[in-house]
Structure 1
Amino acid sequence: MQENDVKPREARAKVIGELNTSIKQCLDLVITSVGNVEASQGTLYFSKPDHPRDFEFNVLSSGEKEVIDLLLDLYLRREDYDDSVFLIDEPELHINTSIQGCLLTEMDRLVGPNCQIWITTHSIGFLKALQTQMRDRCQIIQFRGDLNLASTVQTLKPLEPSPSAWRELFAVALDDLATLVAPKTIIYCEGRDTPGKAGSEKGMDAQALNAIFNHNKPETMFISSGGNTELDQRSAVAIAILSKVFPNIEILVFKDRDMASGKAVDENDRQVYLKTNPQNYRVMKRFEIENYLYDKEVLVAYCSANGLTFDEASYDKLVTDVVNQNLKDVTGQIKNLCGIKASINAETFKVALAHHFDQGMEVYKELYACVFDRA
């Protein structure tokens, strides 16, 4: 009112309007009045669609009060603290799970582009929001039980998002209910079908594909299911069983381009295969997964990130047809072209390359289209 030289009712309308914009994103409430501020008798009054009259702040539930308090605090501080870090300890304690994700998104909007929010949380709602709509705007540090945080120096690093990492985080929030957290899409691919410790994925193809798409497809999980014929059999069984238990789950089959059991297959053969098989089947455009992992874009990114010098001229002589050439057999030479002198397991090298895919790369776009668009 004083700063803008406006009437009290105009100042109230502006403040109430801006606050209600935030509150409506989280609660079925609106502020109707701020009381008599000029007489030092200010208080918040609210209305609800199913309530016959306005009511004061003290009538709200503890969860509603928590949401209003957080939004009001951030709103009032947004101009004075426009280059700040806001520390909030477990804001979910009294807040309904369905509201938590909306609250986190709105809090992020209120603090502005030059600020950060640091939150400690065990919340399912907050974790879900971080996993989905805020995945490009957040980093997560997991305080594991095996760290002696109170007595030793620790270097804390952001968690690399992956299906296994998200399962571990949700396990903390859900305790023994963690097994109920299921991916929306399961994609069966070729590779070692024997699980590792605690059911971990041992198949290289699945590990690589999970690493490639973890960030943009966090609710998708690639699972190795043996060779070509096992892939058909096991995926059919999974569809028959899982579709009854989880009716909303999608199950896809992603095959190497040698789906003709070793016979030469070109793009026309691939298209014919797609047209004559169920809609949940997908086929690589390139010969096999190595033809994507050993793409020049990926190798350059890997070498740059690891301080290695990539021998592009020798690569161009070796890889003359990245789509059709059998590149699995030249893995040793590919490592040499990257300047790797130390001994490194072939599968470890391939999975490491997968972590350097970027959605701006043409090879990423091609692989994404094969898997998710059935191109």
Structure 2
Amino acid sequence: MKRLAKWRLVSLFAILTLVLSACSGQPYLSTLQPAGEVAKKQYDLMVFSTIMMIAVMAVVAVIFIIVLVKFRRKDDKIPNQVEGNHAMEIIWTVIPILLVLVLAVPTVSAVFNFADVDAMEKKNEDGTSDALVVNVRANLYWWEFEYPNEKIVTGQELIVPTDEKVYFNLIASDVKHSFWIPAAGGKMDNNTENVNKFWLEFDSKKADPDKLFQGRCAELCGPSHALMDFKVKALPRAEFDQWVTNMQNIKEPQDATTDLAQQGQEIFNKSCIGCHAVTPSNGTPADARMAPNLTNFGDRNIIAGYLEHNEENLKNWLSDPETYKPGNKMTGTYGELTPEQLDALTAYLMGLKVQGE
């Protein structure tokens, strides 16, 4: 009886876990609340395949019940033994084939549609394209977003316009990663040896109040894989164009605006500048970009990919990055900072904002 009670308890928790795993009040995070054309088509395919599966299960269950009731044993007489039935064999062979075809046609059509990147391949005379293209480079454990046509590089926070196609080139600099924005569309791998290409669209009505979507790595890549998140800020086209202009206007590192921030800038220039850039130009080769670009760090919504963006978390991250993201490349690259140095560096980094935004 005790074992039976334990199994009942385990079963109850298993069912609750399954149910709660699909619960989310955040449309910008849930795959079940699509926020774009790609996500909507994928969601429709899931619903369609689920309906087909339930229909097949229902038919099989009905046939099973009919056979169970109609042909149940009534006496000890052994019935005639039938070996083979060509008609039935043809039926149960043809029906699964038809079901597979019904599923395959819309699925294959959608796959080819998602892979249609002709717009980003068409180049103008200056080598740019009319489509918005973002080169996504995945690293241990951070994300870089390069806008080749706009000559902008940023990190950890992807800025995109809403209600139009955004094309992506995906690559990794170290190990395999996977680019995934749950509400916008299914994941695709970032490989080291080849570039994957696809497109997404972001519905302006489905972002959270801060115009944010959640992104993350969906390929196990190391001890901090679960912490390799990023934010997607989806802006109306006019606001996106203004952001691009503001970023392009930053030709030189921004000057500190206070005495404390000035001290932090001096600390930054003596150590951090070796890996982190504070200008958005993409003139630096990708292999030389060793850490996230910090040009608009003060405008961002997260620190280290997942921490809330505030001074306390920034100081904690700067003082002990290994505790917050094990295995990251920042650990051990600089000496310990005193409380005064942490205050100064924090003031400088928090002041790195896109002017005019």
TM-score by length of 2: 0.24
**Structure with a larger share of its residues in helix:** 1
Structure with the larger strand share: 2
Which of the pair has the greater relative contact order for Cα pairs under 8 Å at 6+ separation? 2
TM-score, normalised with respect to structure 1: 0.23
